[in-house]
Amino acid sequence: MIRKAFVIQARPGLAAEYQRRHNPIWPELAAALKQHGVSNYSIFLRADTGEMFGYLEVADETVFQKLGENDACRRWWRYMTEVLVSERADSPKAKEEMLGEIFHLD
């Protein structure tokens, strides 16, 4: 299992809307995530700043990388750019900073 972590940022005042959009996520997106080997996926919010930390596990990096080709995933990314900070106004996906693992304890 490959552990992955990232940081994203809600636009000012939109963290609650981000959370609302995840409860629940679209069924077709949940299915796509599972089909691409994603499990144990959580997102945590730092309420005072709108910063979020995401953690997920993937079975196979090659299969996971194909998730971005999925229509439901691309539509979800675009939908979420309304509430998340992006690199540019026309970005197809919000700015996501991947984190490197430095410690793990089973």
Q: Which CATH number fits the domain that encloses residue 69?
A: 3.30.70.100
Look at residue 26 and tell me if it is in a domain.
yes
Task: State the total domains in the chain.
Answer: 1
Look at residue 15 and tell me if it is in a domain.
yes
Q: Please pick, among 2, 3, 20, 22, the residue that the annotation labels catalytic.
A: 22
| Pick from 73, 94, 102, 97: nearest CA to 7 | 97
| Pick from 78, 53, 59: nearest CA to 2 | 59
Look at residue 105 and tell me if it is in a domain.
no
Per the annotation, the verdict on 36 as an active-site residue is: no
8 vs 106, more confident: 8
Look at residue 14 and tell me if it is in a domain.
yes
Look at residue 37 and tell me if it is in a domain.
yes
Angle CA 72–37–10, to nearest 5 = 55
pLDDT at 89: 86
pTM: 0.92
Q: What residue numbers bound the domain in which 81 lies?
A: 2-99
Look at residue 104 and tell me if it is in a domain.
no
Look at residue 52 and tell me if it is in a domain.
yes
How do residues 23-55 score in pLDDT, each as one tens digit?
999 999 999 999 999 999 999 999 999 999 999
pLDDT at 29: 98
Is the separation of the CB atoms in 33 and 41 below 8 Å? yes
Look at residue 106 and tell me if it is in a domain.
no
Residue 84 in 3-state DSSP?
strand
